[in-house]
Chain A
Amino acid sequence: MTDQSLAAPRRRPPPPRPPLSLSGAWNNVAVRGWVYQAAVVIGVLGTGAFLIGNAQDALSKQGISTGFGFLTQIGGFDIGEKLIAFGSNDTFLRAYAVAVLNTLKVAVASVVLSTVIGVLVGVGRLSSNLLIRRLASIYVEVFRNTPQLVQLIFWYTLITALPRPREAISVGGVAFLSNRGLLLPWIDTDASLLTIGLAFAAGCIGAWAVSRWADARRRASGVRHSIFGWQLALVAGAPLVASVITGASYSFSVPVLRGFNFRGGVALSPEFLALLLGLSLYIAAFIAEIVRSGIQSIGRGQIEAARTIGLGRFDTYRRVIFPQALRVMIPPAAGQYVSVVKNSSLGVAIGYPELFSVNNTIVTLSGHTVEAIAIMMSIYLAISFVIAALMNLYNHFVQIKDR
């Protein structure tokens, strides 16, 4: 061993730069990458320009002006189902608003209903009861393995084949199911929605504060406070107090048969009902599978540990299984919720006036095909991306925080 071998090895000189040449440059990975990318980008842009040029030629020949000015024109058509006022002398822009609200209405209702059914069926598939287990798996197989559109049209056919309002199927004398849809009792009120909503939000914040306080007390003193009653009083009481202060009147409206149709209550149209069933029963089968695999992903040790420290069956689910299973379930469930919104466009097949079918009417009436399709696609993309972003945010909060 000599001193020299222990000294730091001499740095090797960098390899000599290859001489500049065409073939040399072609063999350089970076150069080649740029050439490929330039070729692809030029190809895509060129094709796009060619297609748009064709479209402009065709449109100018037909004498159609392009642009979004048509949105402020009067539509001259009516929409059967609407959450805000709309008539034949309203603009196309307002028609889009009506359509988006209809889409969101059926989507929100379907998300809630499919989650409830999905969780019940998913837990049912893991039940210790063989009969429940079998029924739940039959549900999943039947609804997962048939096209959603076939289910949707089947429900619609079934609802329109129901008896007329005169022979409606009555549920306890307050709700009626007929070929005009489902009629439910409803609260009639002249209170402003904004006041009630604000009071409800204040009640929810109050309930949350109470639970924080009770948690802090339990940690400090070990005393458990039962706060459920207080929370219920806050959430339900705040809107009530607000409406008493503002002096609103309430009455309970029950649907009653008058002549050939019902009066009073709130009506769910056959189209809405069929779309609600078609969307939620199909998606519920997928949610059930997500719930089942989420629960199964929890190690047996977790459940045994929960039993060991004396948690009951309900607390084991609430405190140990669900918080962990939720992490596994959120990403695929978010995908299913996005697909509820997207598949609400199937409403066109049964005449529910959601975004896609109203957009068809607008295309026909205004003649602005390209602009109308662009608006519709942007709205769907925006809804999909907002749901995905919200779910990512939520996912970020429930993930395990390690390191």
Chain B
Amino acid sequence: MAPVCISSAKPTHAPARPPPRRTDSWSRWLRHNFFQNAGSALMTALALWALFVTIPRLVRWAFVNAVWYTQNAADCHAAAGACWAIVPEKYRVMLFGTFPYEEHWRGVLVIVIVLGLSAISTIRRLWSYWLCVAWLVATAAVFALLLGGVFGLRPIGTHEWGGLPLTLVMFVGTVVGGIPAGILLALGRRSKMPAISALCVGFIEIVRGLPLVTVLFMASLMFPLFMPEGVTIDKFLRAQIAMTLFFAAYAAEVIRGGLQAIPRGQYEAADTVGLNYWQKMTRIILPQVMRIVLPSMMNEIIRAFKNTTFVGIIGLFDVLRATSTAIQDPVWVRYSIEAYLFIFILYFVLCFAMSKYSERVERDLAVGR
């Protein structure tokens, strides 16, 4: 069969159009990103000028003229740049505070355990029942290492704890104790029983209306007053309880947001199949809530980590307070800016890692929704 011509149009040869302009040339990229209009060009010029003024000076101070290592502060005095030598000179006091000097290896082990297990916990393939067991074992190991008195380790009182081990233990304790307490407070706030809901609302709103420093101050000054005679709770534990309750109030509000986001049908379906209150919450509602609130909860957790610096104000030797103490040495005191910059970078690395991880989890969890 011969082909049938459907079109009645005459085939003509239109001239070929030129290909579209290349969009990936570097000059175009430059124009698009830096000189799109007059305002943009002006901003670029201003920013470049500011960078040219500050960056070379900063580099000269921090790198070119800096003293990296010396045991003699006079060498730093002679140099025009930063004196990073204060870090190798004082790092033991900065990182371990009042912890007994010859037992620092125990502090190192604590840091390795907590940071290592935290790093492992970020791998979602390993999220399982065993990870909880690992954390329980790690908690026991951390306390055995810090407190001593077992396996022939010398006992160390909590008043001697300090530095990064104290910061990390305080942080982990706050989060591990605060999330369950926050869940209970959030459930209590949404409870239909007026007395319970009023108590939870009162606690959450009062704690959220107060500065953390005042809560810590109250714990350190008023707690001992309210205890029966002969009962003493040591300073570390008092600060830990105050930090945990403070975190719990904020966590409760995050979880309440998640509880409100669960559709009513989920609650009703759970009631229909005859689950009681706790079955309904632990098996149907809370697993969905935790998934929803994970990003905002990570923000609260990062904030809790930054807030551990506040315990220095009531006299515990966390990293910041230990650093302030370390630079009291009159020979080195003029280089305190370098010491604080080191601490600044230490906190930044830890918090930045946490916030980047939280962004990744948020993206991953958004996939299936």
List residues of A whose CB falls within 8 A of some B CB.
33, 36-38, 40-41, 44, 50-52, 54-55, 57-59, 127-132, 135, 141-142, 144-151, 153-154, 157-158, 161, 338, 342-343, 345-346, 348-349, 356, 360, 363, 369-370, 373, 376-377, 380-381, 384-385
* Distance between B258 CB and nearest chain A CB, rounded to angstroms: 17
Q: Which of A150, A373, A384 has the most CB of B within 10 A?
A: A150
Q: Say whether, besides A33-B193, A142-B348, A150-B309, A135 and B47 are in contact (CB < 8 Å).
A: yes
Q: Is B172 an interface residue (CB 8 A)?
A: no
Once the chains bind, are B337 and A147 in contact (CB under 8 Å)? no
Once the chains bind, are B47 and A131 in contact (CB under 8 Å)? yes
Could you say which residues of chain B place their CB within 8 Å of the CB of A127?
40, 43
List residues of B whose CB falls within 8 A of some A CB.
33-34, 36, 40, 43-44, 47-48, 192-196, 199, 206, 208-214, 217-218, 221-222, 225-229, 302, 306-310, 312-313, 320, 324, 334, 336-337, 340-341, 343-344, 347-348, 351-352, 355
Please, how many angstroms separate the alpha-carbon atoms of A286 and B57 in the complex? Answer: 29
Please, how many angstroms separate the alpha-carbon atoms of A380 and B340 in the complex? Answer: 30
Q: Say whether, besides A135-B47, A381-B210, A54 and B347 are in contact (CB < 8 Å).
A: no
Could you say which residues of chain A place their CB within 8 Å of the CB of B222?
55, 369-370, 373
Specify the main secondary structure of chain B where it touches its partner: helix
Cβ-Cβ contact count across A and B, 8 Å cutoff: 150
Please, how many angstroms separate the alpha-carbon atoms of A141 and B308 in the complex? Answer: 19
Once the chains bind, are B199 and A132 in contact (CB under 8 Å)? no
Once the chains bind, are B36 and A128 in contact (CB under 8 Å)? yes
* Distance between A152 CB and nearest chain B CB, rounded to angstroms: 10
> Which residue of B196, B221, B310, B337 is within 8 Å of A149 (Cβ)?
B310
14 CB-based A-B contacts, threshold 8 Å = A131-B47, A145-B355, A146-B347, A147-B306, A149-B312, A150-B309, A150-B320, A150-B340, A153-B340, A342-B210, A346-B213, A356-B213, A356-B214, A381-B209
> Which residue of B196, B208, B340 is within 8 Å of A154 (Cβ)?
B340
Please, how many angstroms separate the alpha-carbon atoms of A161 and B337 in the complex? Answer: 9
* Distance between A59 CB and nearest chain B CB, rounded to angstroms: 7
Could you say which residues of chain B place their CB within 8 Å of the CB of A150?
309, 320, 340, 343-344, 347
Query: CB-nearest residue of chain B relative to A372?
Result: B221
Specify the main secondary structure of chain A where it touches its partner: helix
Q: Say whether, besides A36-B196, A149-B320, A356-B211, A131 and B43 are in contact (CB < 8 Å).
A: yes
Q: Which of A128, A151, A356 has the most CB of B within 10 A?
A: A128
Could you say which residues of chain B place their CB within 8 Å of the CB of A135?
47
Once the chains bind, are A131 and B347 in contact (CB under 8 Å)? no
Please, how many angstroms separate the alpha-carbon atoms of A142 and B312 in the complex? Answer: 22
Once the chains bind, are A377 and B214 in contact (CB under 8 Å)? yes
Could you say which residues of chain A place their CB within 8 Å of the CB of B210?
342, 377, 380-381, 384
Could you say which residues of chain B place their CB within 8 Å of the CB of A369?
221-222, 225
* Distance between B108 CB and nearest chain A CB, rounded to angstroms: 23
Please, how many angstroms separate the alpha-carbon atoms of A142 and B48 in the complex? Answer: 20
> Which residue of A142, A161, A345 is within 8 Å of B211 (Cβ)?
A345
Could you say which residues of chain A place their CB within 8 Å of the CB of B334?
161
Q: Say whether, besides A150-B347, A342-B210, A145 and B340 are in contact (CB < 8 Å).
A: no
Q: Say whether, besides A373-B221, A373-B222, A130 and B355 are in contact (CB < 8 Å).
A: no
Once the chains bind, are B43 and A132 in contact (CB under 8 Å)? yes
Could you say which residues of chain B place their CB within 8 Å of the CB of A343?
211
Please, how many angstroms separate the alpha-carbon atoms of A36 and B221 in the complex? Answer: 33
Once the chains bind, are A129 and B44 in contact (CB under 8 Å)? yes
Could you say which residues of chain B place their CB within 8 Å of the CB of A37?
193-196
Once the chains bind, are A129 and B214 in contact (CB under 8 Å)? no
* Distance between A57 CB and nearest chain B CB, rounded to angstroms: 7
Please, how many angstroms separate the alpha-carbon atoms of A356 and B227 in the complex? Answer: 24
Q: Which of A55, A131, A380 has the most CB of B within 10 A?
A: A131
Once the chains bind, are B33 and A349 in contact (CB under 8 Å)? no
* Distance between A106 CB and nearest chain B CB, rounded to angstroms: 13
Q: Say whether, besides A40-B199, A380-B209, A147 and B40 are in contact (CB < 8 Å).
A: no
Once the chains bind, are A146 and B348 in contact (CB under 8 Å)? yes
* Distance between A377 CB and nearest chain B CB, rounded to angstroms: 6
Q: Which of B225, B336, B352 has the most CB of A within 10 A?
A: B225
Query: CB-nearest residue of chain A relative to B35?
Result: A129
Please, how many angstroms separate the alpha-carbon atoms of A33 and B195 in the complex? Answer: 10
Query: CB-nearest residue of chain A relative to B218?
Result: A373
